[in-house]
Chains A and B, each alone.
Chain A
Amino acid sequence: MSTTYVGALELFSGAVLVSAVMTLWLRQVRSIVAMLRLQGIALAAVALVLAIHQHDNGLLITALLVLAVKGAVVPSLLGRVADLDADSRESSPLVNVSASLVFAAILIVLSYVVGSRIIFLAPSAATRLTPIGIATVLVGYFMLVTRRKVVSKIVGLILVDNGIALVTFLLTAGVPLIVELGSSLDVLLVVVVLQFLILNMGRRLRMNEIADMKELHD
C-alpha cells in the first residue's frame, strides 16, 4: 500500500468534512453553496483515488457521475435559488455559529465512537476513515435542525447525502453501479423538486424562514 494512496485518501476525505464544518461557520448563502461545490469535487476525488487503487472501472464511472452531479449540477441549481435573494444570510440560526462549531467537534468525536463499531470488521486504510463520513452526515443533520433558511435546509440535506456517499466509498468501495446511478438520480431530482417548490411557493415562504410555515398544524 503506497503512502501516496493513503495520503490522497486522507486529504480528500478530510476536505469533505472540513467543507461540511465550514458551511456551519459561513453566513453568506453564496459562500455556503461554493463550499458545497468544493465538497462535491473532493468526494469525486475520493472515489477516483479508490478506483485507481483498486482498478475498478465501475467506481471510475461513479467518480465521474459524482463529479457531474454533486460537483456541478446540484451546486448550480442551489446557486440559482441563492441568487433570488442576493445578499441572503443565515441571520438567526437556532444555535449561533460559535456554539455550532463546538457541537461539530462533539459530533466528530461521537462519530469516531460509532465508527469503531464498524471498522473492526475489516480494518484498512479506507475503512479507518469512515468516521469522517459519519461526522459529515451528523453535521448535515445538525444544519437541518438548527438553520432556518430554506436554502440552508437543502444544504443540510446535501451534506447528509454526501456524507453517506463518502461512507459508501470508504466501507465498500461503492455500492453496485446500478444502485449508485439510481441514488445519484434521486438526489438530483430531489434538488430539482426543492428548487421548483421554492421558485413556486408564495412570497410568504419563498425567501424566508421555514419557521414561518405555520398553516398546517393540529
Chain B
Amino acid sequence: MLCLYVLLAPALMAVIAALFPWRAWIGWTSAGSSALVLGLGVALCVHTTLHSPVTTLHGALRADALSAFMVVVIGAIALLATLFTPRTMRQEIEDGSTDARRARHYVILMQVFITCMLLAILAANLGVMWVSIEATTIATTFLVGHRRTDEAFEASWKYIILCSIGIALAFLGTVLVYYADLHVGTHHSTSLDWTSVLAVAHHLNPDVMRLAFALLVLGYGTKVGLVPMHSWLPDAHSQAPAPISALMSGVLLTVAFYALLRFRAIAAMALGPNFPRTLFLVVGLASLVLASALLIAQRDLKRMLAYSSIEHMGLLALGAAAGTPLAIAAVLLHILGHGITKSVLFLSSGEIAHAEGTTEIAKITGLLARRPVLGGIFGVGLLALVGFPPFSIFVSELSMARAEVDVGLWWAVAISLVCLGVIFGAIGMHARQMLLGEPSTAGTVATARSVAVPLVSALVVVALLGVLAWPLQSLLHSAANAVVR
C-alpha cells in the first residue's frame, strides 16, 4: 500500500488546493505533503532494500529499490521547492505579477506535476510510465508560462512543442519494444510490464530492439535535456518561477533519465552492452561539450544554471554508458546530489533575482559583501556543483569516472575532464563577478531565516552524503542491481 500512499499525498493536496482559495496555509500544507512523500519514500527504501520489491493495485504499481530511491529524490526536492511556495507567491502578489487565482492554479499544477513524476516512477507498465512523463510536460507548460510575459509564453510554446515531438519518438520506441515482446515464441504476456519484458529480454529480436532503443534514447533524451534535443531547456528553466525551475532541473530531468535506465537494462540484455554504450557516449559527450562551450559566454544567471544541468545530464549519460553496478550506483548518487544542489541554486537565484531585480550576471556585483548569507549559500552551492569535496557530487563524479575507466572508456573520461575544467573556469568567472566585485550599495542586508534555514540544511545534507562515505551504500547497490545484471 505504501506505493499508493506516496501517490495519494500530492494528489489529495492538489484537490485541497482546488477546493480552497489561495492562502498561505495552503502553501505550508503542500510542504507538509512533500515531507510526507519524503518520509514514505524512506520507508519504501527500507522495505525494498531489506525485503523485496512491493506491488499494489493488482501489480499496476511496483516499487523496487531503484523506484524507492527516486521517490526519495522527488520527495526531498519537492520539499525544498514547496517550502518556498508561500514566499514566492507572497512576493509575486505584492509586486502585482500574479493574483490569488493564479496562485491557486500554481499550487494545483505543482502538485499535479509532482503526482505525475511519482506515477512515472511507480508505474509497473512502461506505457503508463510514458503517459505520466508526457503528462508532466502538460502540467509544467502552464507553470513555465506562469508569469504570462511574452518571454514566458515563448518558452512554454517551445517547451511543449519540442518535448511533445521528442517524447512521441519514445512512444514509438515503446511500441516497438512491445511488438518485439509480443513475438517472443513461448511467451504469452500481453502487458508492457517492465519485469515481464525484462524476463524475456534475451529473446527480443535484436534488429527491432536496436531501432527501438535508438528512438527511446532520442525521445526520453529530449526530456532529459541531452544534446541534440536540448534547446527547450535553457528557455523553460530560466522563465519558470524559481521553485518550478528547481523541480524541473533538480528532478524532472532525472525522472526521464530513470526511464532510460529501465530501458537500458532491457536493451543491454537483448543487444549486449555495446549498443547502449555507444548511444549514451555520443549524447553524453555532445551534451558536455556543448554545455561547456555555452557556459563561457553566459550572461544570465538562471540560463547559466540551466546549461549546467545539461552538463550534469551528460555526465549521467556517460555513467550509464559504463553500465556497471558501481557506475549505476554512482549515477544514482549523482542524481540525488545534483538534484538537491541545483534546487538550492535555483531557489537562491530566485531570491537574488527578487532582491536585485535582475538575473543578468553583469548587473549583480558584490553579493557576498551586501547579502552575506544569501551570497554565501549561493557561493557554497556553486562550489558543490562544480565538484568540490566534501560535497557528494565530488564523490559521485569520481566514482563514475572510475567505473568508466574500468570498462576501458578512459578516453571519454579524459574528454569529460577537459570539459569539467572549462566549466569550472566559466562558472568560477561568473561567480567571481557576482559574489565578489565592487558592492553597488553600501551596508549589508539580512536574509530571512525562512530562506536561509532550508537552503543551508540542504547543503549540509549534500556535504554529509559526501563525507559519510555513502551512508546509502546498501540502498544504492540494491537500486543499481535492479537495472544491472
Contacts and interface: CB of A to CB of B under 8 A. Distances in A.
A167 B172 contact: yes
A137 interface: yes
Contacts, number: 135
Nearest to B239: A216
B145 interface: yes
Nearest to B155: A216
B158 interface: yes
B138 A193 contact: yes
Given A197-B156, A202-B150, A176 B161 contact: no
Best-surrounded residue of A122, A205, A215 (most CB of chain B within 10 A): A215
B469 interface: no
Interface string B310-334: 0000000000000000000000000
Contacts of B150: 201-202, 204-205, 215
A121 B176 CA distance: 11
A34 B151 CA distance: 32
Q: How large is the interface on A (under 10, 10 to 19, 20 to 34, 35 or more residues)?
A: 35 or more
B135 interface: yes
Contacts of A183: 127, 130-131, 134, 171
Interface stretch (A9-17, A77-85, A156-164): A156-164
A114 B192 contact: no
Interface in A167-183: 167-168, 171-172, 175-176, 178-179, 182-183
B175 A137 contact: no
Interface string B37-74: 00000000000000000000000000000000000000
Contacts of B171: 164, 183
B151 A141 contact: no
A213 to B, nearest CB: 5
Interface stretch (B85-93, B205-213, B391-399): B205-213
Contact of B153 (A118, A122, A202): A202
A213 B157 contact: yes
A218 interface: yes
A130 to B, nearest CB: 9
Interface stretch (B179-187, B273-281, B367-375): B179-187
Given A176-B190, A186-B131, A218-B234, A121 B161 contact: no
Dominant secondary structure of chain A at its interface with chain B: helix
B235 interface: yes
B368 to A, nearest CB: 27
Contact of B161 (A157, A161, A189, A216): A157
A117 B208 contact: yes
A179 B179 contact: no
A124 to B, nearest CB: 11
B164 interface: yes
A210 B157 CA distance: 10
Interface string A183-218: 101100110011001001110110000100101101
B208 A118 contact: yes
Given A160-B165, A176-B127, A178-B127, A215 B211 contact: no
B154 A215 contact: yes
B298 interface: yes
Contacts of A179: 125, 127-128, 130-131, 192
A153 interface: yes
B168 interface: yes
A8 to B, nearest CB: 22
Contacts of B297: 218
A164 B168 contact: yes
Interface in A80-129: 114, 117-118, 120-122
B453 to A, nearest CB: 34
Contact of B151 (A114, A193, A197, A216): A216
A144 B162 CA distance: 10
Say whether chain B's binding surface is mostly helix, strand, loop, or mixed. Answer: helix
Given A164-B171, A179-B130, A121 B165 contact: no
B211 A190 contact: no
Contacts of A178: 125, 127-128
B148 to A, nearest CB: 7
B303 interface: yes
B178 A172 contact: yes
A117 B207 contact: yes
A205 B303 CA distance: 23
B142 interface: yes
Nearest to A197: B157
B141 interface: yes
Nearest to A117: B207
A138 to B, nearest CB: 11
B305 to A, nearest CB: 14
Contacts of B303: 218
A213 B158 contact: yes
Nearest to B172: A164
A137 B218 CA distance: 15
A205 to B, nearest CB: 7
B118 interface: no
Interface of B: 125, 127-128, 130-132, 134-135, 137-138, 141-142, 145, 148, 150-151, 153-158, 160-161, 164-165, 168, 171-172, 174-176, 178-180, 182-183, 190-192, 205, 207-208, 211, 234-235, 238-239, 294, 297-298, 303
Given A118-B176, A190-B160, A201-B154, 13 more contacts: A117-B211, A118-B179, A118-B211, A121-B179, A121-B207, A168-B175, A175-B174, A190-B137, A193-B138, A193-B160, A216-B158, A218-B234, A218-B294
- 10 tightest CB-CB pairs across the interface, nearest first? A179-B127, A182-B131, A186-B134, A216-B235, A171-B179, A201-B153, A189-B138, A215-B151, A168-B175, A213-B154
19 contacts: A117-B211, A121-B179, A121-B208, A144-B165, A150-B157, A164-B171, A167-B172, A176-B190, A179-B131, A182-B128, A183-B130, A183-B134, A193-B160, A194-B161, A197-B153, A197-B157, A201-B154, A216-B158, A218-B303
Interface of A: 114, 117-118, 120-122, 137, 141, 144, 150, 153, 156-157, 160-161, 164, 167-168, 171-172, 175-176, 178-179, 182-183, 185-186, 189-190, 193-194, 197, 200-202, 204-205, 210, 213, 215-216, 218
